[in-house]
Every structure is written in structure tokens, then in C-alpha cells.
Structure 1
Amino acid sequence: MAAKGFNRIIIIITTISAAIMELLDTTIVNVALNQMAGSLGATIEDVAWVVTSYAIANVIIIPMTGFLAEYFGRKTYYLASMIIFTVASYFCGASEGLWELVFWRFIQGVGGGALLSTSQSILFDAFEPKDRPIASGLFGMGIVLGPTLGPTLGGLIVDNLTWSDIFYVNLPIGVLASILTILFIEKKEGEGTRKKQIQIDYLGIFLLTAGIGSLQFILEKGESEDWFDSHLIILFTAVAIVGLISFVVWELYTKHPVVNLKVLKHRTLALTLIFTFVSGIGLFTSVFVYPVLVQRINGFTSTMTGLSLMFPTLIAIPMFPIIGKQMAKGARPVPFIVVGFLLFIAFGIWAGTLSGDANMWDFFPAHLLRVLGISMLQLPLINQAVAGLQPQEYPTGISLNNMVRQLGGATGIAIANNYVTNRVAQHRSDLMSNMTSENPLFMERLNGITNTMASRTGEFFSATQMAYRQMEGMVMKQAYLLAYLDTFRIVSLFFIVIFPLIFLLRTPKKSQEEAQKAALAAADSH
């Protein structure tokens, strides 16, 4: 039964806050890695495990949320996950060593993995079937706000407090959300009573953990480990291949799979997962590349970086309930997906033309295109993912959709890291080819810098050496700028390549009564 009045408002606040909190922690640490490294006496490469461990735990647990919610009972599992996440957040902030912090980040990721799919199903239950697209719109706001607010909040905290406080900020939210869950989220009829009847797929869980965990490790650490020049990456690649192939075969043939992969026989879901994967690349890669670009090249502080992401996001946020209302009236998802892809293509092209002198408002139009594109994609893709499924298959469809979005983000970031490294080398080589005595513009700039240095030091030879070093620094800065701008264009390229597949999508037509019954059954199956 749908919630009413005050109870519904509390459920909306609780579930969206939990989803934002989980996704916020995927990006909030990105602006604090330097401070963590200095405080913990670790290298940047080692401290990156703080990000990697959370992502690995997340992507392992997300596809199992449907099974775990059914086994333990949805409310019990949701509350336990929130408590685990909150307690782990405290110990992350209190950690005194790198590997202690990495351990608690993994535990935090285990708890956080349930907060996406389970929050979504609880929120759906608070609405009548005909209004559930509006619930999807509200949840879509959380999906976008989380990764976007991460750098903003992280920047404010790092600039004014300490890195530990980026974890402590979860404590009041987690405690309040846990109390509200106990008081206002009701157990569904029969919830948790089938525990003894459910057989646990231990082998499936092991293979999923090994396969997906290894794949996520490769994506997160491949660049820093020199990819296949590293024996560690080769080992994890072998584990990922064997684990994932074995997992797929086992889940297709076992009677009690932890993840029902047979839902992928539905073409609509299989195609939608491709679009969700690419949208994950766009959502997470753009938020990853942009802060590095503007802090390294444009001289933004962490706070300025966060605010420049937040302002266009806040403007575009009202699009989510508007799209939700349109979906509730029967609007098809495909036209929204088309517009979303076009907006993201425009974002990548526009962002790829900006300069190293651009200020935060120069980036504003590009970011507005990005957030409008995301708003056009998230809710329609969620609805399209379950469009062709039977009600009992909905939890698996939603969990796979959420997992694929996270994997898309990890893949995009891995590609961006590798691509930037290669493009910097290429751009440096191209730029250096112009630094010759035959180039009058170069000689004019070099002589100008040399004369300035000589007037300060009184030594012409040392001034010439300093001028060359300064020119080298200018070349490297320009090479990085061009490489980051190329990366925005690569994000657009993914959307361009996949775009024609949109026209293969079909949304099964249902009467309003059938749609409402299916939505109600879907909520009952969560």
C-alpha cells in the first residue's frame, strides 16, 4: 500500500538521502587524495586504493541486492546496510594508517551497495502505481546529485577542515536515516519469512565476487600498474575472465541463482544495459576529468571546482520530476533517450573547445548541457530497463542496471586515465617540434623570457637555462590541456557510436490498467 502525507515525505527524504550519501562517497574523496597521502605518509598511487576498494565492494554487492533483500527481508537488509555504512564511515575518518582506511572503505562500500536498489524499491512503494514514474524522477535526482555534490562538499571540507571530515559528514545523515527507517518504513507482508526456504548460491556469490571484483580492480588500477606489463594485472585479468565466464554459465543452469541472468534474453533489457553503460561513462568520467583539468590547468581551488559543478546541476534538477510526470502520463522513454544522447554529444564537443584561461562561468553552458543530458537519460533508462520484464524479474533488471552504470563509470575513468597519458606524450612531441631556432615566434618568446630573467639575475647563461625550463613547463601545461579536452571529445564519441542502436529499442505497449498492475507487482517483488 502506498504511503500517504507525512509518511510519504519522510520516506522520500530517507531513501533519496541514502542514495545521495552512497553515490556522494564515490566522488567526495577525489579532491582529498593529496591531503590523505600527506597525512598518512603514502604515495598518491597507494592512496588511490581508498577509491578502488569502495568501488570494488560496491560493484560486487549491487547485483546481489535483490537476493539479499529477499533472504533477510528488505527493511532488515536496508537498515543493516545503512548502519554498516555509517559505522564504517566513522572508522574511515578515525583511521591512522592507509590500509586501515582501505579496509573500512571496502566495508563502507559493502554497506553502501544496498542503498541504491533498495532505496529505489522502497521509494516506489510509497507511490501509487500510476505515480511511480514520478518516484523514478525523484530517485534520478539523487543519482545525479550524489556524484556532482561529492567534489563540491569535498572541496569545501578539504579547504576549511581536514580530510577525515569528509567521512564524518555521513554520520548525522546515516543516524537520522536509520532512525527514520525504523520508525516509518514498514515491512511488507511476509517479508523475511522465506529465509529457510531460500537456498544460498554460495558458488555463484564466490564467482561473482572473484569475476566482478577482479574486473573492477583492473579498471581502477590498470593505468597506475602499466596495464599488461604488470604481472598483477595479468593475474587479475585471468581471474576476471575465468570468474565471469564461470559465473554466467553457472547462473544460467543452477536452479537457485544469486543473479537471474536469464532476464538478459529480453532484448529491451540487453540493449538498455548498453545505453546505461555509456551513460555511466558520461556521468562519472566527466565529473572525474573536469576537476583535474581546472585545478591543474585553470588554477581553480577545490571549492571553486565544486561550485562550478553544482550551479548548473541545481538549475537542471527540476527536469527530473517534470520528466517523471510525463512518463506517468504514458510518454515513451525512447524520445527522451535520443535527446539525452544528443545533449551529451553536444557537451563533449563544447567542453572540448574551452581554453586554459576559462573561468567557472565559461564552463557553465557545457555543464548545463551535461546535466540536462543526464536528466533525459536516467529516468527513461530505468523505465526502459524493466519495460519488457515480468514483474518477478524487475529486481534483477534494476540491480543489473545499477551495476552496469557503475561499471561504465569505472571503465570510462580507466579509459580517460590511459588516454590522457598517451595524448599528453603526443601533444608534447607535437609542440616541442615547433621549439626550434628556425621558428621566429619561439625565438622571440625565448629571448623575451631570457632577457627578463637576465635582468633579475645578471647572468645570461643561467637565464637562458631558466627560460628553457619555463618554456618546457608551458609546453607541458598546454599538452595536458589539449589531452583533457580530447578526453571530453572521446566521451562524445562513445555516445555517437552507440546512438544508432537507440532505434532498435522497443517499448512494449500496455494498457494503463496493465501498466499499473505491472508496477504494483514490481514493487511487491522488491
Structure 2
Amino acid sequence: MKKSILIITVITAAMMELIDTSIVNVALSHMSGNLGSTLEDTSWVITAYAIANIIVIPMTSFLATKLGRRNYYIGSIIAFTFFSAMCGLASNIWTLVLFRFLQGIGGGALLSVSQAIVFEVYGKARAGIASALFGVGVFLGPTIGPTLGGFITENYSWPWIFFINIPIGIAVAVSSILLVTEPEIKVTPKAVDWWGILLLIIGVGSLQTVLERGETDDWFSAGYIVVLTVIAVFSILIFIWWELTIPNPVIDLRVLKSKSLAVAAVLTAVTGVGLFTSVFLTPVLAQRVLLFPPTITGLTLLPGAILAIFGLLFSATLLKRGVSPLIIITIGFVLFIIFSFLMSGLNLEATPGNLARILIFRALGLAFLTVPLTALAVSGLDAKDVPQGSALNNMMRQLGGSFGIAMINTYVAHRFGSHRNDLISNISIYNPQATQRINGLTQYFAAKSGTLIEAQHKAMAVVNNGIDRQSFLMSYLDAYIFVGLLFVLAMPLLLVVLDRKKQAGPVVLVSDH
């Protein structure tokens, strides 16, 4: 009974952290208006949290060893909960951004330490089930974030996006105090790698800022983006060299000698691109183009999220019964590719039902990828290296998501300009359909206002809005194809590596040592 409550506790903690990666997305405009800030400044609420997460996640193994896993985990839950409350009480945008960063620092431990506890409870023999249970949190967190955020924003107010964490955080903290223990395998605390920590903060912080803010500020036309890119490249390269040469690194990159972890990290990054870009694109498409209200937008993701739970458990069961991971992961990739190409066929008449049915393919595809990839990541590691391996793998998922969103933002912006120019070229006196449409609108507005010039302006505004809406639609549909093609390109690597592993056992639990 205690083990079951512990599993529920740590998965809830991980879900709480992951929900906050996307719950803010649908509330930015409300925050902007309420706090009197621009939408660009308000978007730092997302950026600050992502930067903090990416910095802390790979350090969790080191911090858990140095501070004691139990102390670090419980302290992180308390910090996450406290700064959630402070975010909701913030009275200006930059105070909110600061508290959001500190919330992300607290949340960083909730992912990797929770995963390590789940694997410890189940053991290597049942790693597939552990992967499935943890995968529920990994998948549902970002997916239900927009649903929850849309409902809260529409029916209450944006501070409740953060206040909702308080009762959950208190319950998780109390349960953790009662149930979380130190790992059975004791690891002697190492000397503090201050240079490694500094290089990691500078390198990853700079890289994450570039990825999050690049599109908003037109990439390398902004001086600070150029400077941060140079800093990121040199800091990360020096960090890698430093960590591989000192005896007590803050992040033990030597665990990447495990081929299963190295390959899983790459594939997890690709999966992160698919997970986070689809969660990012779909609410924007639904609200900006298809004109769904926030609550309906969130609900379109819900059927797929529910089915994904069964998909995760089913894939774990298949692994346990000896089905080759090659088959399961291939099915996952194929389902996500089908989702991407089905999305590219949507039009302006699409209904919430149409969107919800297509999103089921996305949900099941990612569900079939999560379990075998998570198991693969730790399959070649000794027990003492599992926390470090899972932390690196989780970081790759988050980095993949950040890189994917930055890449998709840029791609959509370029495609929007191209599609808009193509559509505008059709608006001329030589196009009878366009002329008829404009004349009809002009007559309609003239009958309402009685002023021809004003009616012409209104008619052109309607046509211009229609062009923008169609251009955005085509751009987003192109983006879904782009992500689908990325999955197609990743499949050969997946097939080659898993073909080598397929004889190893039902959950790919073999050692590379």
C-alpha cells in the first residue's frame, strides 16, 4: 500500500512540474492585459521557467547526492509550491518572471528524482511497467496543461493557474515527508564542481534564451542573440571538456558511453520535438485560425490524453510479454507521422470533433514511444548511474522541445510570409472572383454606414483578415508536415539500433559494459 501511495505521489509531483511547462500558454494575453505589459515581455514567463528547468534537470543527480535525495526532493517540492503562490501574487511582469524562474528551479528535481524513485521501487525486472507509469506523467503533463489553463483562464483568472499548485504541492510534500527515503545504494558526496556548475548555467542558460527568444527578436539581427549564441557554444564546449577531464564532475557525461543511453537520448530529443511542438501548435491553430474558445481548445486534447494512458500501459504489457521494442517504437513513429499528415489536410471548416479525432493518433504515437525509449535509456546503466542517465534523458526531452518550438516558430513565420504574398497576388482587378467579393462587401458596408469610402476600407479589412487567417492555416499545416518528416528521418536510426538490441529481451534490459 505504501509503495502505491509513493508511486502516486512522485508521479503527481512530476505531472505538476510538467503541467506548468504549458499551462501558461493560453493565458499570456490575459496576463499581458492585467499586468500592463507587452506580449513579448509576458512571454518571458514561459522562457524563465524553461531556462531554470534546463539548468537544474541535469544537475539533479549531483544535488541529490550532495544534499541527500530525500532532503533535496522535499525541499524542491516546497520551493516549487511556495514560488507558485508568489507567481500568483505578483503585481508586475518582471516580479512574475523572477518568481517563475525560481519556480522552475524548484521544479527541476521533480522530474528526474521522481523517475529514479519509480525505477527504484519497481526494479530492473519490471522497468517496462515503471516506464509506463512514469510515462503517464511525462505525456499527460504538457498535454493537459492547455486544457487546464484554458478552463481556469476562461472561468476564473490567470493567478489561479499558479494557485492551483498550492494544495497539490502541500499534499505531495506531506506524502513525500512520510514515504520518501534515501536510496539503498549510498553514493559518497563528491567535491563541489563549481566551474562545471558555472559553465552549465552560462552555457545552457544562454542557449535556452536564444531558442526561446530568437524568433521574437528576428534571430541574428538582434545583437544580444549573436552574443548569447557565441557564449553558449564556447561555454558548452568548455563544459564538455571540463566534465570529461575532472574526477568529480557535476554531470557525469561518461554515462553516455552506454550506447543505449546515447541513442535513447537522441530519439528522446526527437520525441520531445513532437510532444512539445504539437502541444504548442494545436492550441494556437485552434484559437487563432479555427476560432475555438480556450476551453473547447483544451478539450480537443483530452480524448487523446485519456487514450494515451491505456496506450502507455498497453505498450508496457507488450514489452513484458516479449514483443520486440522495435515493433512498438516503429508503431509509435508511424502513428505520429500519420497524425502529422492528417493535420496537414485540415481546412477552415474543421470542427473540434475533427481535431480531437486526429489528435488521438498523436497521443497513441507518443504513448508507444515513451515506454520503450525510457526503458532503453537506463537499460545499459548500473543502478548507481540510473539517476544521472534519467536526468540526461529528461534534459534531452526538454531541449528537444525548446529547440523544436524555436525551429517551428521560425518556420511558421517564413511560411506565413510566403503564403501571404501568394494569396495577395491573386487580389487584383483581373481576378473576377476577388473583384466580386470586394464589391459585394463594399455594397454591404455601404448599406450599413452610407459612406462609400468607409465601406471600401471595411471591405478591404475583411479581405485582409481572411488572407491572414488562410495564410496562418497553411503555415501551421506546413509545420505539422515538417515535424512529421523529422520523425521519418529519425526512423532509420531507430531501426538500426533496435535491430541490434531486439534479441536482448522484452524490455531491452541489457548492459553495454
Classify the TM-score, shorter chain. over 0.9
Alignment-derived partner of residue 180 in structure 1: 175
Rounded to whole Å, the distance in 1 between the matches of 2:133 and 2:329 is 18
Structure 2 residue 199 is the aligned partner of structure 1 residue 207: yes
Given candidates 387, 393, 413, the residue that maps to 1:395 is 387
Please state if 1:507 is matched with 2:483.
no
- Which position in structure 2 is the counterpart of 1:290? 282
Q: Residue in 2 aligned with 1:522?
A: none
Structure 1 position 515, deviation (Å): 5.2
Partner of 1:278: 270
Farther off after superposition, 321-330 or 449-458: 321-330
Aligned partner of 1:113 in structure 2 is 108
What is the CA–CA distance in structure 2 between the aligned matches of 1:233 and 1:129, rounded to whole Å?
A: 44
Give the root-mean-square deviation of aligned CA atoms. 1.8
Report matched runs for 1:221-232 at 5 Å. 221-232=213-224
Are 1:250 and 2:245 an aligned pair?
Answer: no
Taking structure 2 as the reference length, the TM-score comes to 0.96
Is 1:53–2:48 an aligned residue pair? yes
User: How far does the alpha carbon of each residue in 1:386-434 deviate from its partner, in whole angstroms, 9 at most, with x for none?
Assistant: 2333443322221111001000110111111111111111111000111
Give 2:462's match in structure 1, choosing from 470, 476, 481: 470
Deviations 1:333-387 (A, max 9, x none): 2222211111111111001111122111011222000000110111111111123
Is structure 2 residue 74 aligned with structure 1 residue 91?
no
Is the contact made by 1:57 and 1:107 (CA closer than 8 Å) also made in structure 2? yes
| Cα deviation 1:135-183 (Å, max 9, x = unaligned) | 2101101111100111111111101111111000000111000100111
1:415 and 2:407 aligned:
yes
Structure-2 residue corresponding to 1:320: 312
Change (3 A) 1:514 1:425: closer
Partner residue in 2 for 1:127: 122
> How far apart, CA to CA, are the structure 1 residues paired with 2:403 and 2:181?
38
Change (3 A) 1:430 1:515: closer
Deviation string, structure 1 residues 275-328 (Cα, Å, up to 9, x no partner): 111110100000101111111111111111111111221123111122222223
Q: Summarize the Cα distance change of 1:490–1:356 in structure 2 as closer, same or farther, 3 Å threshold.
A: same
Q: Distance in 2 between matches of 1:371 and 1:514?
A: 23
**Equivalent-residue separation in structure 1 for 2:201 and 2:26 (angstroms):** 29
Counterpart code for 1:97: N
Letter in 2 for 1:464: Q
In 1, distance between residues paired with 2:243 and 2:115? Answer: 25
1:16 paired residue number: 11
Name whichever of 169-178 and 317-326 sits farther off. 317-326
Stretch moving more, 403-412 or 64-73: 64-73
Distance 1:222 1:458 in 2: 47
Residues 448, 46 of structure 1: CA spacing in aligned structure 2 closer, same or farther, 3 A cutoff? same
Instruction: Verify: 1:452 aligned to 2:444, yes or no.
Output: yes
Q: By how many angstroms is 1:330 displaced?
A: 4.0
Residue 508 of structure 1 and its aligned partner are, at CA, apart by 7.5
Q: What is the SS of the residue equivalent to 2:122?
A: coil
Residues 219 and 411 in structure 1, CA contact (< 8 A), matched pair in contact too: yes
Q: 2:149 aligns with which of 146, 154, 161?
A: 154
1:453 Cα shift?
1.6
1:7 aligns with 2:2: yes
- In the alignment, the residues of structure 2 paired with residue 510 and residue 372 of structure 1 have an alpha-carbon distance, to the nearest angstrom, of 25
Question: Structure 2: how far apart are the matches of 1:510 and 1:37?
Answer: 53
Q: Percent identity?
A: 43
Is the partner of 1:113 in helix, strand or coil?
A: helix
State whether residues 122 and 130 of structure 2, in contact with CA within 8 Å, keep that contact through their aligned partners in structure 1.
yes
In 1, are the aligned partners of 2:320 and 2:506 still within 8 Å (CA)?
A: no
Is the Cα–Cα contact under 8 Å of residues 207 and 244 in structure 1 kept in the other structure? yes
Q: Deviations over 1:94-150 (max 9, x none)?
A: 111111111111111111111111001112222254223212101101111100111
Q: Secondary structure at the match of 1:386?
A: helix
SS state at 2:301 partner: helix
Unpaired runs of 5+ in structure 2? none
State the match for 1:103 in structure 2: 98
| Contact map agreement 1:74 1:191 (CA 8 A) in 2 | no
Q: How does 1:12-51 map to 2 (within 5 A)?
A: 12-51=7-46
Gaps of 5+ in 1: 1-5, 519-526
